[in-house]
Structure 1
Amino acid sequence: MAAFVAFPRSINTGKRKVLKEDLLGVAQDIGFKEAKTYLASGNLLLWGDHAGGEDLERRLEDALEARMGLRTEFMVRASEDLRRIIDGNPFEAEARDHPSHVIVNFLKVPLPGGDEEILRTANTGPERFVVAARELYVDFPISIADSLLDRDWKKTKRNPVGTTRNWNTVLKLAEMLGA
């Protein structure tokens, strides 16, 4: 049986409310018999005999839209992907020191060639980031709330499509998946 975590983008912010019951219903709608949620940001854990990847992302997106009339992107990672992400954290010391300020942005697709340098050049603050596969690791040494990183990236019109979880959440999701 395969295990996945699905990260919906930008739900439960403003008017984009999705209840736990709706997310679990979406999982059931596409054939997952076992599913759990974790936190209000919409982390959806799935177990079943299903393939992952873009097909699963599209099925989740379509099912949420059919159920609620809400279209949003899902970024899906298998349990082994989550283990790779944890093992590949370039900010290990920072994650021990301030885990809520180390985040992983789960990207929809890898950054196009050259975008990493454009984003690096646009960054005006103390934040550091590393791109790996379809993830963007970011260390906010001072404050996430006061960071200008998102604003700087939006100026480039290359703000990557993804959704962010802090290191504590990533570790808890891996634990829940058995990764």
Structure 2
Amino acid sequence: MIRYAALLRGIMPTNPNMRGEKLREVFTGLGFDSVGSVLTSGNIVFGSTETDVPALESRIQRALNAELGIAGGTLIRSRDELQALVDAAPFGERTHGRGTYLTVTFVKNDAPGEPSRPLPPELGKVIDILGFDAGARAVLAVIDNSNAGSTPSHMAWLETMYGKDITTRTWLTVQKVLAKL
């Protein structure tokens, strides 16, 4: 049995169909084991013997769309992939806080690696792209959150690099997801 985390895009906890209990029901209905949710932002952990991750992502996304009307996106990482990312300590001694966000943007399996072009100058002042973790297929960034407009602009820039099949979590959320796996 492999332990996985499904990182769902576009989840709004205020929508009754996007709450943890509804999401867990879909995953349980698909036959997955030990289904649980982490926080309220679309993080579902589960067990499966399936090893074809793209097929698993498609199957889950179809079920979420059919049963709950959720058209977002599903990205899956195994426990081992997330453990390797956390063990690598990519943020070093930096800490996540109100003024500084440590973020991990997960991309689809077939997405390119390192960003192909630099941040625009206005974003470069408030965002530090630390690099790309190939094992977790994730862009690692530190955001100066004292500039309220930087996060949406950063997300838009990431979408120009990788398309809409991405989802971002804070470093604290990644650690919580791993702990639940």
1:89-100 equivalent positions in 2, closer than 5 A: 89-95=89-95, 98=97
In angstroms, what is the RMSD of aligned CA positions? Answer: 2.8
Structure 2 Cα separation of the partners of residues 98 and 164 of structure 1: 16
Structure 2 Cα separation of the partners of residues 42 and 6 of structure 1: 8
1:1-179 equivalent positions in 2, closer than 5 A: 1-12=1-12, 17-95=17-95, 98=97, 101-109=101-109, 111-112=111-112, 116-121=115-120, 123-129=123-129, 130-133=131-134, 134-140=137-143, 142-143=144-145, 146-148=148-150, 150-151=152-153, 154=156, 158-160=160-162, 161-177=165-181
What are structure 1's unaligned runs of at least 5 residues? Answer: none
- Identity rate, percent: 23
Please give the TM-score of this superposition, normalised by the length of structure 2. 0.81
| Deviation digits for residues 4-62 of structure 1 (CA, Å, limit 9, x no counterpart) | 00000011167695021221111122211320001110100002323251111111101
| Deviation digits for residues 44-86 of structure 1 (CA, Å, limit 9, x no counterpart) | 0002323251111111101101111221211100000001111
Task: Tell me the SS of whatever aligns to 1:116.
Answer: coil
CA shift for structure 1 position 145: 6.0
Count of residue pairs the alignment pairs up: 174
| Deviation digits for residues 137-156 of structure 1 (CA, Å, limit 9, x no counterpart) | 1112x317625254266368
Q: Which has the larger share of strand? A: 2
Structure 1 Cα separation of the partners of residues 27 and 109 of structure 2: 22
More displaced stretch, 28-37 vs 104-113: 104-113
Structure 2 Cα separation of the partners of residues 106 and 162 of structure 1: 6
Structure 2 Cα separation of the partners of residues 170 and 14 of structure 1: 22
| Deviation digits for residues 112-157 of structure 1 (CA, Å, limit 9, x no counterpart) | 37x71424356332311112221011112x3176252542663686
